[in-house]
Amino acid sequence: MRILVIEDEKRLASFIQRGLKEQHYIVDNAYDGIDGLFQAETNQYDLIILDVLLPGKDGLDVCRQLRAKKNSTPVLMLTAKGGIEDRVSGLDAGADDYLAKPFDFKEFLARVRACLRRRQQDKATRLKAADLELDQLTHEVVRAGKEIKLTATEYALLEYLLLNAGQIVTRTMISEHVWHHDFDSFSNIINVYINYLRNKIDGGYPQKLIHSLRGTGYVLKG
C-alpha cells in the first residue's frame, strides 16, 4: 500500500517514512502544502499523513481542496495543536482521524491500520496467484500454506507484481512504484530484487510464478 506523508519537519518526516517502510508500506514525502496537494492529486494513495502547520498551504486547506475535488483518500492529520477545537476543525475539513504531536509510534501505526481497514472495506485485501497469497493489511505472504518472510522492498515489489498479475510490468513502471525518487536508472537493482523474490517465492516449487520477458519487463502469473 502506498502512503503520502506531508510534513515539513524533515527529521520527523524521515522518522515516519522509515517506520512505515519497516512495516512494508511504500512511502512518498512532501515538505509543504503546495507540493503535497500536487502529489495527492497526481498519484494514487491508500492513505495521506497530513501535518496541519505547513508552509505554502496549511493542512486544513489541503484537506478541504482534496475533498472538494472528490478525492476520498483517507487522511490522518498530525499536529502540535491538540485541543478540542483543533480536532474539530481537522475533522470538519475532511480528515478521517486526528493525532496530536508528540505521539507514540505504536498508536500512530494502529491509527494507520484503522484508516487502511476502512479504506479497504469494499476492496479485497488478499492478493492471490496460484497457491501464493499476500495480505495487504497484515503483510503476511504465504505459498502453499508456508509463510514467506520478505524485506520491505521485496514485499513492495511482490505486491506490485500481484496487483498487476498477468500483465507485463516494465522496469520503468517498477521503478516509479517501488523505488520512486531513489531509483538509479543505471543500476541493476531491479534485477537483483527480482532474483531475491524468485529465490523466496519460486525456489523449491515446480510451478514458477515470476517470469522475465527479455527487453520488456516481468510478469507474475500462475
Which of the two residues, 88 and 4, has the higher pLDDT score? 4
In contact, 141 and 147? CB cutoff 8 Å: yes
Q: Is the pLDDT of residue 38 over 80?
A: yes
- According to CATH, the topology of domain 2-119 is Rossmann fold (3.40.50)
User: What's residue 188's pLDDT?
Assistant: 86
Amino acid letter for position 4: L
Distance, in Å, from the CA atom of 162 to the CA atom of 85, rounded to the nearest integer, reads 43
Distance, in Å, from the CA atom of 143 to the CA atom of 149, rounded to the nearest integer, reads 11
According to DSSP, residue 181 is labeled G
User: What's residue 182's pLDDT?
Assistant: 61
User: What's residue 121's pLDDT?
Assistant: 64
Backbone angles phi, psi at 185, to 5 degrees: -65, -15
CATH of 126-220, one of 3.30.1330.90, 1.10.10.10, 3.40.50.150, 2.60.40.420: 1.10.10.10
In contact, 98 and 115? CB cutoff 8 Å: no
Q: For the range 89-92, what are the long-range contacts, defined as Cβ-Cβ under 8 Å and sequence gap of 24 or more?
A: 89/60, 90/52, 90/59, 90/60, 90/63
User: What's residue 183's pLDDT?
Assistant: 60
Classify 74 as helix, strand or coil.
coil
Q: Is the pLDDT of residue 209 over 70?
A: yes
Q: Are 2-119 and 126-220 in the same CATH fold? A: no
In this prediction, residue 53 has a pLDDT band, given cuts at 50, 70 and 90, of very high
Mean pLDDT of 84-90: 84
Q: Is the pLDDT of residue 81 over 80?
A: no
User: What's residue 215's pLDDT?
Assistant: 82
The ranges assigned to domains in the chain are 2-119, 126-220
C-alpha cell at 137: 493489511
- Mean pLDDT in the chain? 90
Q: Is the pLDDT of residue 171 over 90?
A: no
In this prediction, residue 62 has a pLDDT band, given cuts at 50, 70 and 90, of very high
Q: Is the pLDDT of residue 181 over 60?
A: no
User: What's residue 1's pLDDT?
Assistant: 82
